[in-house]
Structure 1
Amino acid sequence: MRRGGTLPYPPSGLPALPLGAAREETPRRRAAPRGGRLLPCQIGRYTLFDHIGQGGMADLYLARVRTDLGAARLVAIKEVAPRFAHDPRFVEMLASEARLAAGLRHASIVQVEDLCREDGSLFIAMEYVEGLDLRELLRRCARQKVKFPVAFSLLIIAEALQALAYAHRKGVVHRDVSPSNVLLSFEGEIKLCDFGIARAHERCGAMDEALQGKAGYMSPEQARGEALDARSDVFAAGILLWELLAGRRMYSAGPGAALSKEAARGDLLELARRASIPPLVERGLPDEAALHAIVARALAVAPDDRYPSAAAMLQDIAAYAAAAELTASPLRFGAWLRDNFGAELVAPRRARERAVRALELGPPAVIEPIATVAIAPSAREAVTPSAMDIGAQGAMAMAAPPAMEAAAPPARAAGAQGAEPAALAFAEPPPWARAQPPLARPQQRWPVPWLVHNALLFALAALVIAGCYLAAR
């Protein structure tokens, strides 16, 4: 994740905001898992098979799990970084917050399914969203020079505000509304994730790199370490809207950020405390002053001057989008994502999923040759070998017939009672190996009796009809 500096997408024209050219022409190398975990691997009932991301506090994996009905589905697994997983206080706080997050049931919130520990590692199982997060979307738009429509920007903010409004009614404040926590599915779904994780950090005093790296999305009171309420999340949503409209980061770290991550985090925290909001550049949107007023109210420094709730901000966003004819449906958004980014993201994961499915079935069974049967001359019988093996992929293989000679069984001790004579090899091919003469084809005979029978019946019928005719005259 880029911690300091400006995002690599400069502002450009409308109605669709092009996100410019990326600074890097080649994709960035994916970070390796912290623990050097080899994939695929089994963690409890989850089969981890793809490392899909890394953040300040966790590694993110794609996994498969089988339900009680035997159906397999995908889940996302977060492995908490060791420095947090080995902190008993943090684990206790995270478990408490995870229980609260698991109680949030909303279409725009990623569901928390499980919290488990194995071999000293801490794992969070969550709903898997097939797509990408907002941070990755903006990065790919910049690299591929894809224009991002303004209507989709308003749709993303509206869906995030719906999730926040629901959570706030339940008494839950997110505390970490940032692009990496806004997930976008290829079906057009927009979901907010990681409820409660930032709260666990704050409750155990672990306000370090994991959250300071997102200082660019903190409210002034959060950057100062003060008490928070729902209006802090409103401020963060305002930052997201500002950046989507401007096409760049709202806060930019100083020149020392390129030399030190600590300097970058310090600069961003100081900017967040002061809340120096740069003005938005006019781009010719319909009634743009009304949209800028929405952004300005959401980004008010004093909490009392902001929207009192996410629901209030959502109402103004929806009204503006309708009046400016900048509405967009999730179906259109999903189709746009699939057209621009679907193939390059989904194909590699589908290949890994097929590999894991093959591993779950197991390797094909090795077909062993049939042991030769030794039969004494007085006890020869027709033996029909059946050596059919069904492999893991459902393919059937028939073993070849056994050899014609058999090795004698190990001899018993001299003088032992019940000693059996040595087995004899077949003097002639066994019954199943003998050449069988072809079956004689039965001779075809002329069906004379059948013809005579039918002729007599026909003549009798003719006589009856003639008699009836004469009687009638």
Structure 2
Amino acid sequence: MYHLGKYQLVAELARGGMGIVYLAISEGPGGFSKLLIVKELKPDLVSDPSFLQMFLEEARLAARLSHSNIIQTYEIGSDDERHYIVMEYLDGVTLSRVVRKKSPSFSLDMQLRVICEMLKGLHYAHTLKDFDGVPLGIVHRDVSPQNVFISFDGQVKIGDFGIAKARDSSIETNAGVLKGKPAYMAPEQVAGRADARSDVYSAGVMLWEAVAGRRMWAGAGELEILSNVIAGTLPPLQDVAPDGPPDLVPIITRALAKDPDQRYPSADALLVDLDAYLAPRNVTTRAVSEVLEPLFNEERAKKRAVIEAHVASARAGRTERVSTLPEMPESTTTPAADGNVAPAPSRPPASRPSVAATTQQRRTAILASTLLALAGIGATIAVWLGAESTEPRGVASRAPAPSAAADDVRPGAAASAPAAETPVAVTPPTAPPVSDAVAAAAASATTASPVDSAPPAAKAATNHRARPTPPPPRTTAARPSPAPAATSAEEKSGTGYLTLDTYPWTRVSLGGRVLGDTPLVRAQLPAGTHTLVLENSGEKIRQTTVVTIKPGETVSRRLAF
């Protein structure tokens, strides 16, 4: 049995830009055993002080949160050079998985009850004070159905505080940097400002979708989503769902107000109105759990079999390899920009090396920054879409954020392996006339696959894939060691480096020449702007991404399709 500290690792659940998430067992005297979630900082990032600081910052913030509606963090530990966070394990599923089942037994009232429980956890985090009584000012910044977990015994918890920000954080967010999923983002968050009312807006989007029975931005591209969010032009709920409960319309309208001052002032204020609406309906979380059990019985049985086999091996003193849990079938794939990590690879973890720098999808950054410049909101912005980055330059085409991973087995935290929280601000050029600017931004990326032409909000309806196929024997040449500081010789030679990882894996070509299969680590390229072709025939993926290489610098990128 593989160990991390005192914890026996059972199965890998998910991977993110910074972390690996495991299902683990803690055993003690008298036959004591307990299932837990262990999130480890990727070993090849330990030597980078900035990644280690971000990982410990997440742990520090999560450890302060102790509430029945928030995933609990138990311990922060180190084992030699390995750093990890230990969290509670919950047997259940994410709200997004339940919604995608489209079961008539999971009613609107039940979904509203789940959102109410989520709001209780949010309000606690928003109002939490430090030991000296000073408010911490915590903002989640990534409230969405993928981060709400429902257990089979009736608990509802919000997790993934990986990009949450506290007022006393030791890590500064660059001016104009955006964090979160655009489909659930408040207008002020697009401009780089977020407070508790931004999380209320995100909850409002969830309410809108619950009543409408579909994604708010279904069929819309990134440019359209961002421009409408900035303008406050949302699809009218009464047009989309004319038969929806009229009493909910003013509640949702207020939660989605463009001006934060016109919104509910707190998650608790929104909760009061929702509770009043649900009061005569008497819907409990226990009733919700009773609906979930028959929907996921088969998947739970598969998961239990893997866990029991590992426990038996551990007690018999046999060494058992860290596995991946069986594929849990879904009605559709996870909607674009719905998660922060890629699912655990189907091949052994060691066969896919970690990449020492994670990346963001720059295409949306350019779209957002162009729109913000035109709207007069700001001149500098970079967008984080589920895979945060340290990417200096480049444009990615149609690359929604990774799917929420292992939704059926993780505790909301289990699919929240943190991505690197170091996106670099993008300074847009002086905005041309509106029509030209929008056209230029929209033309900055190209797609070559019918599947990938679907916008992020429509991915759930158009993309149904099984676990990604493993790559063929790797064609990548021997990789150099992690990036040293740029030398004057490199700068004078006019060469730079590209580090690239994708989910699923892709074969990377430049001008017809194969550079290798992802992850690529510090592939040397001449300075200049290059159009890379990313292909995976098994997954029917053919994408292009544009990168700009500067002499002596490394461009790092992580994309998901």
TM range (shorter): 0.5 to 0.7
Could you give the per-residue CA deviations for residues 237-276 of structure 1, whole angstroms, max 9, x where no partner exists?
A: 1111111111211124646xxxxxxxx5x66544443443
Give the match for residue 118 of structure 2: 160
Could you give the per-residue CA deviations for residues 321-373 of structure 1, whole angstroms, max 9, x where no partner exists?
A: 12xx33311211111111221x2222122112222222222358xxxxxxxxx
What amino acid is aligned across from residue 127 of structure 1 in structure 2?
E
Q: So what's the TM-score if we normalise by structure 1?
A: 0.58
Give the match for residue 187 of structure 2: 220
1:99 aligned onto 2:36: no
1:293 aligned onto 2:250: yes
Q: Distance in 2 between matches of 1:64 and 1:224?
A: 43
Q: Do 1:253 and 1:267's aligned partners in 2 also have CA atoms closer than 8 Å? A: no
Which residues in structure 2 correspond to 1:303-382 (within 5 Å)?
303-322=260-279, 325-341=280-296, 343-363=297-317
Task: Evaluate the alpha carbon distance shift between residue 211 and residue 48 of structure 1 in structure 2; reply closer, same or farther with a 3 A threshold.
Answer: farther
Could you give the per-residue CA deviations for residues 180-205 of structure 1, whole angstroms, max 9, x where no partner exists?
A: 21000001111011235343899454
What amino acid is aligned across from residue 284 of structure 2 in structure 1?
S
What amino acid is aligned across from residue 74 of structure 2 in structure 1?
E
What amino acid is aligned across from residue 352 of structure 1 in structure 2?
V
How many angstroms does 1:215 deviate by?
Answer: 2.1
Q: Distance in 2 between matches of 1:74 and 1:208?
A: 41
Give the match for residue 192 of structure 1: 158
Comparing 330-339 and 89-98, the one that deviates more: 89-98
Q: Do 2:141 and 2:179's aligned partners in 1 also have CA atoms closer than 8 Å? A: no
Percent same amino acid at aligned positions? 39
Which runs of 5 or more residues in structure 2 are unaligned?
Answer: 129-135, 319-561
Task: Evaluate the alpha carbon distance shift between residue 293 and residue 117 of structure 1 in structure 2; reply closer, same or farther with a 3 A threshold.
Answer: same
Q: Distance in 2 between matches of 1:91 and 1:208?
A: 23
Task: Evaluate the alpha carbon distance shift between residue 153 and residue 202 of structure 1 in structure 2; reply closer, same or farther with a 3 A threshold.
Answer: farther
Q: Distance in 2 between matches of 1:69 and 1:209?
A: 51
Task: Evaluate the alpha carbon distance shift between residue 232 and residue 203 of structure 1 in structure 2; reply closer, same or farther with a 3 A threshold.
Answer: farther
Q: Do 1:57 and 1:210's aligned partners in 2 also have CA atoms closer than 8 Å? A: no
What amino acid is aligned across from residue 314 of structure 1 in structure 2?
L
Q: What secondary structure is seen at the aligned counterpart in 1 of 2:248? A: helix
How many angstroms does 1:297 deviate by?
Answer: 0.5
Q: What secondary structure is seen at the aligned counterpart in 1 of 2:140? A: coil
Q: What secondary structure is seen at the aligned counterpart in 1 of 2:282? A: coil
What count of residue pairs does the alignment treat as equivalent?
Answer: 306
What amino acid is aligned across from residue 53 of structure 2 in structure 1?
E
1:75 aligned onto 2:32: no
Task: Evaluate the alpha carbon distance shift between residue 250 and residue 112 of structure 1 in structure 2; reply closer, same or farther with a 3 A threshold.
Answer: same
Task: Evaluate the alpha carbon distance shift between residue 352 and residue 155 of structure 1 in structure 2; reply closer, same or farther with a 3 A threshold.
Answer: same
Q: 1:134 aligns with which of 90, 95, 109?
A: 95
What amino acid is aligned across from residue 190 of structure 2 in structure 1?
A
Q: Do 1:132 and 1:184's aligned partners in 2 also have CA atoms closer than 8 Å? A: yes
Give the match for residue 245 of structure 1: 211
Q: 1:88 aligns with which of 34, 41, 49?
A: 49
Q: What secondary structure is seen at the aligned counterpart in 2 of 1:197? A: coil
Which residues in structure 2 correspond to 1:409-448 (within 5 Å)?
none
Q: Distance in 1 between matches of 2:231 and 2:2?
A: 47
Q: Do 1:117 and 1:123's aligned partners in 2 also have CA atoms closer than 8 Å? A: yes
Q: Do 2:77 and 2:83's aligned partners in 1 also have CA atoms closer than 8 Å? A: yes
Q: Do 1:53 and 1:60's aligned partners in 2 also have CA atoms closer than 8 Å? A: yes
Q: What secondary structure is seen at the aligned counterpart in 1 of 2:67? A: coil
How many angstroms does 1:222 deviate by?
Answer: 1.5
Q: Do 2:175 and 2:192's aligned partners in 1 also have CA atoms closer than 8 Å? A: no
Give the match for residue 454 of structure 1: none
What amino acid is aligned across from residue 168 of structure 1 in structure 2?
H
How many angstroms does 1:221 deviate by?
Answer: 1.4
How many angstroms does 1:53 deviate by?
Answer: 3.6
Q: Distance in 1 between matches of 2:79 and 2:48?
A: 15
Q: Do 1:90 and 1:204's aligned partners in 2 also have CA atoms closer than 8 Å? A: no
Could you give the per-residue CA deviations for residues 115-173 of structure 1, whole angstroms, max 9, x where no partner exists?
A: 3345755432211111011122222x14xx55530111110111011111111120322
Task: Evaluate the alpha carbon distance shift between residue 245 and residue 96 of structure 1 in structure 2; reply closer, same or farther with a 3 A threshold.
Answer: same
Q: Distance in 2 between matches of 1:126 and 1:173?
A: 20
Task: Evaluate the alpha carbon distance shift between residue 308 and residue 83 of structure 1 in structure 2; reply closer, same or farther with a 3 A threshold.
Answer: farther
Give the match for residue 456 of structure 2: none
How many angstroms does 1:58 deviate by?
Answer: 3.9
Q: Do 1:231 and 1:303's aligned partners in 2 also have CA atoms closer than 8 Å? A: yes
Q: Do 2:178 and 2:191's aligned partners in 1 also have CA atoms closer than 8 Å? A: no
Going by fraction, where is helix more abundant, 1 or 2?
Answer: 1
1:176 aligned onto 2:142: yes
Q: Do 1:108 and 1:160's aligned partners in 2 also have CA atoms closer than 8 Å? A: yes
Going by fraction, where is strand more abundant, 1 or 2?
Answer: 2
Q: Distance in 2 between matches of 1:251 and 1:202?
A: 35
Q: Distance in 1 between matches of 2:18 and 2:2?
A: 21
Q: Distance in 2 between matches of 1:208 and 1:111?
A: 31
Q: Distance in 2 between matches of 1:42 and 1:114?
A: 16
Q: Do 1:56 and 1:209's aligned partners in 2 also have CA atoms closer than 8 Å? A: no
Q: What secondary structure is seen at the aligned counterpart in 2 of 1:199? A: coil
Larger radius of gyration: 1
What amino acid is aligned across from residue 159 of structure 1 in structure 2?
E
Q: Distance in 2 between matches of 1:252 and 1:83?
A: 38
Alpha-carbon RMSD: 3.1
What amino acid is aligned across from residue 337 of structure 1 in structure 2?
L
Give the match for residue 414 of structure 1: none
Q: Do 1:150 and 1:326's aligned partners in 2 also have CA atoms closer than 8 Å? A: no
Task: Evaluate the alpha carbon distance shift between residue 60 and residue 196 of structure 1 in structure 2; reply closer, same or farther with a 3 A threshold.
Answer: closer
How many angstroms does 1:313 deviate by?
Answer: 0.5
Give the match for residue 451 of structure 1: none
Q: Do 2:41 and 2:55's aligned partners in 1 also have CA atoms closer than 8 Å? A: no
Could you give the per-residue CA deviations for residues 207-242 of structure 1, whole angstroms, max 9, x where no partner exists?
A: 999955x2212211112212x221111111111111
Q: So what's the TM-score if we normalise by structure 2?
A: 0.49
Q: Distance in 2 between matches of 1:210 and 1:56?
A: 17
Structure with the bigger RCO (C-alpha within 8 Å, sep 6+) is 2
Q: Distance in 2 between matches of 1:209 and 1:222?
A: 9
Q: Do 1:77 and 1:125's aligned partners in 2 also have CA atoms closer than 8 Å? A: yes
Give the match for residue 500 of structure 2: none
Task: Evaluate the alpha carbon distance shift between residue 156 and residue 47 of structure 1 in structure 2; reply closer, same or farther with a 3 A threshold.
Answer: same
Q: Distance in 2 between matches of 1:70 and 1:197?
A: 38
Task: Evaluate the alpha carbon distance shift between residue 293 and residue 69 of structure 1 in structure 2; reply closer, same or farther with a 3 A threshold.
Answer: farther
How many angstroms does 1:177 deviate by?
Answer: 0.9
